[in-house]
Amino acid sequence: MSHALKQVFNKDKTFRPKRKFEPGTQRFELHKKAQASLNAGLDLKLAVQLPPGESINDWIAVHVVDFFNRINLIYGTMSEYCTEKSCPIMSGGLKYEYRWQDEHKYRKPTALSAPQYMNLLMDWIEVQINNEDIFPTNVGTPFPRNFLPVVKKILSRLFRVFVHVYIHHFDRITQMGSEAHVNTCYKHFYYFVKEFNLIDTKELEPLKEMTAQMCH
């Protein structure tokens, strides 16, 4: 592993502890299947497709947790450079500003600094993916009716992390020599959300030109 990738995967830099799948569960087997496709160097467009005979909700759940873990790591490597001073507004360039809203403290969309937004976002996603009523872990327990709406919200908010990192911190990624890793993670994420129509096209606008070049 290169020094740059070691930095990306440095456990001290992890923004949140990784969420793991329990060995022996169906979700764990699916996770292994997904990882095997990636490790085999399979075309990412093919790697995201639902394996024959598998449940689409299980497949989506596995990927949501995996993307949460990986995007967490990416942001964790640069969180010390993303400060109240450097990023007083959670944005993607001059054109896009992201405001935070939740069911508790921030009932109206509220302008926050990028680090505040990221903290609230990761906390919020962690609560969703640890909630057995939304992400059931027992085989045979049905997914709730609101599973896909929750997933779409999680993924569109995770996409905003990519937007902020690419537009405001890409120089840091380049300095670390980890742009290939971040680009691969982004492409995997993009092909996945497109395959299952999980993010509105308008949400993807901020990285539209870069995506067209990278994911043609």
Residues annotated in a binding site for Zn(2+):
82, 87, 164, 169
Give the H or E element holding residue 96: strand 96-97
Q: Is the dihedral of CA 128, 11, 6, 206 positive or negative?
A: positive
Cβ atoms of 186 and 214 closer than 8 Å? yes
Q: What is the CA radius of gyration of the chain?
A: 17
Both tokens of 160, joined, read 């905003």
Binding residues: 82, 87, 164, 169
β-sheet bridge partners, residue 110: 100
Q: How far apart are the first and last CA of the chain?
A: 28
